Amino acid sequence: MAEQARTLLQSIVNPYAAQEMQDGAAWRLLQAETFIAAHLHDPELDVAMVANAMNMSARQLHRVFAHSDRSVSELIWECRLERAHEELLAASLRGLSVGDIAHRWGFSDQAHFARAFRARYGLAPTQYRRMRTEAVPPAQE
């Protein structure tokens, strides 16, 4: 939702960016981002699924995202990684393993999740979770 709001706000603040996009591409981009956000839990979520939901070909969808700062796949994985990151820090989800959290957000391979997490946040997910939960007493969360 935050990503959708950011995109919408950008089009309001910078209407020229939206004008550069052809014939409703900004609207289609927002629709695609909304669909992706709503289906992040689905392990089958991919470019083809988004394109099908948008009633367009994958090639057309890639053209819509050409005006964005990332591809469809990059957006999907970045959003999933962000949500997994949030859940690793959630006190209410401390009972879930790192693998369970990764799986909840569409990562079928825990090693892939760990590599992506380390690349983005600088630590392995288990190290990050341990460091953050030890740094914040449970009463302050």
pLDDT tens-digit map of 76-89: 999 999 999 999 98
Q: Report pLDDT for 139.
A: 53
For residue 73, which of 47, 104, 112 has the smallest C-alpha distance?
Answer: 47
Q: Report pLDDT for 117.
A: 95
Average pLDDT across the chain, whole number: 83
Question: Quick check: helix, strand or coil at residue 46?
Answer: coil
Q: Report pLDDT for 14.
A: 53
Q: Report pLDDT for 18.
A: 46
0.85 cut: is pTM over it?
Answer: no
Place of tokens 């960016």: 17
Is residue 73 within 8 A of residue 123, CB to CB? The reply is no
Q: Which amino acid does the sequence have at 63? A: R
Which residue stretches of the chain have pLDDT < 70? Answer: 1-23, 135-141
Integer Rg of the chain from CA? 17
Q: How far is CA 6 from CA 2, 30, 34, 73, in A?
A: 6, 10, 12, 19
Q: How far apart are the first and last CA of the chain?
A: 22
Is residue 44 within 8 A of residue 6, CB to CB? The reply is no
Is residue 74 within 8 A of residue 3, CB to CB? The reply is no
